């Protein structure tokens, strides 16, 4: 396993851990969780109805002035449905990047945490920050 694969595995493990925190808090109707002896109040998490609404969210984030200033060379990001049910993934090419999320028969990936934490940051963390 390469160093890149090891780091990617750590990102996905962290995503799963945080996603589980949000899921359990939602199941119990309480956004406050105990984390190593400290109570944390989890923020509301956006849920999406479709790939189109995920795309609108991504477009809105990329249009933020603070994002444009921090990553002026960020390429376009497209969201597309994927046939598989158990994973979301991202792809990079010369035209930009693509996030592929399961949309049919499941909705676990149509949420802000998966798009932003797991994939959005992975794609854009490779672009050197300005300044």
Q: What Rg, from alpha-carbon coordinates, does the chain have?
A: 16
Is 1 a residue whose pLDDT tops 60? no
Bridge partners for 90 per DSSP: 99
Distances (CA, A) of 39 to 13, 18, 36: 22, 15, 8
Contact present, 88 and 99 (Cβ < 8 Å) = yes
Hey, what are 65's tokens? 């002035």
Is 3 a residue whose pLDDT tops 60? no
The pLDDT tens digits for 114-124 are: 887 656 665 66
pTM: 0.73
72-106 in b/e form (b: 16+ CB < 10 A) is eeebebbbeebeeeeebebeeeeeebbbbbbbeee
Query: For the chain, what percent of residues have pLDDT higher than 90?
Result: 12
């Amino acid at each position: 396993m390469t160093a890149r694969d090891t780091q990617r595995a750590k990102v996905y493990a962290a995503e799963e851990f945080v996603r589980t925190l949000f899921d359990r808090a939602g199941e119990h109707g309480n956004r406050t969780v105990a984390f190593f002896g400290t109570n944390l109040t989890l923020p509301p998490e956006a849920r999406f109805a479709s790939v189109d609404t995920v795309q609108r969210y991504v477009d809105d984030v990329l249009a933020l002035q603070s994002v444009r200033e921090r990553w002026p060379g960020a390429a376009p990001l497209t969201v597309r449905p994927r046939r598989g049910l158990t994973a979301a993934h991202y792809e990079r090419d010369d035209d930009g990047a693509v996030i592929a999320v399961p949309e049919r028969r499941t909705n676990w990936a149509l949420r802000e945490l998966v798009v932003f934490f797991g994939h959005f940051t992975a794609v854009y963390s490779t672009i050197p920050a300005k300044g």
